[in-house]
Homo-oligomer: A and B are copies of this chain.
Amino acid sequence: MQIAVLLYDRFTSLDAVGPFELLSRLPGAETVFVAREAGPVRNDQGNLAMVADRSLAEVTAPDIVVVPGGPGSRGVMRDETVLDWLRTADASSTWTTSVCSGSLILAGAGLLKGRRATSHWMALHNLTEFGAEPTGERVVFDGKYVTAAGVSSGIDMALHLLGRLAGDQVARTVQLLTEYDPQPPYDAGSPDKAPRELVEYWRARSAQVL
């Protein structure tokens, strides 16, 4: 079982590391970070480089593909080398997944046509441009396509996937070992719950953020 996590310039680090940390604990799984070329890839804020151990050309048939989001997704959506890799990987994958605006990259590759999907709340409306049906849910399964909402939601996605891949007991084990018992001190994590003025302020600036 091979899990490939895609990196690209200006990805959001938690989008990638959240599901990575949980999925890579699947017994027997080999998890690998991949990018156009092997080597360090810098995040959206420019203050963290993560190393892609393999180039896309070296990893052609992963069982699970994870595509993080980030401001760089806008460029990757038009990068035919990456899109071709995604289409090829998807042809033999068991699960093709994304976090945040990573779903726009999947959509850009033509993989979400006619499918229900989610994305960061500020990017949701862009899914329709590619024939996907946006939903406001946190984790959306449609066939083998699994999309998660913004940044932190990839952790929830990973737990859902672990349950499907290996059963509830393995998923609970990973939850216990990563002590995922969330206790946020605020309740502003979705546009339905955050103060309305905050949501409106950021919605108006979504093009600059994502």
Residues of A within 8 A of B (CB): 12-14, 17-18, 20-21, 24, 30-33, 40, 45, 47-51, 53, 100, 120-121, 138-139, 149-153, 155-156, 159-160, 163, 168-169, 171-173, 175-186, 188-191, 193-195, 198-199, 202, 209
Residue from B153, B155, B186 in contact with A163 in the complex, judged by beta carbons closer than 8 Å: B186
Residue from B33, B47, B184 in contact with A175 in the complex, judged by beta carbons closer than 8 Å: B184
The CA-CA distance from A21 to B191 in the complex, in Å, is: 19
On whether the beta carbons of B138 and A151 are closer than 8 Å, the reply is no
Q: From residue A157, how far is it (CB to closest CB) to chain B in Å?
A: 10
The CA-CA distance from A150 to B156 in the complex, in Å, is: 16
Number of copies: 2
Residue from B152, B159, B179, B186 in contact with A190 in the complex, judged by beta carbons closer than 8 Å: B179
Inter-chain contacts of A18 with B (CB < 8 A): 14, 17-18
Q: From residue A126, how far is it (CB to closest CB) to chain B in Å?
A: 16
Inter-chain contacts of A31 with B (CB < 8 A): 45, 47-48
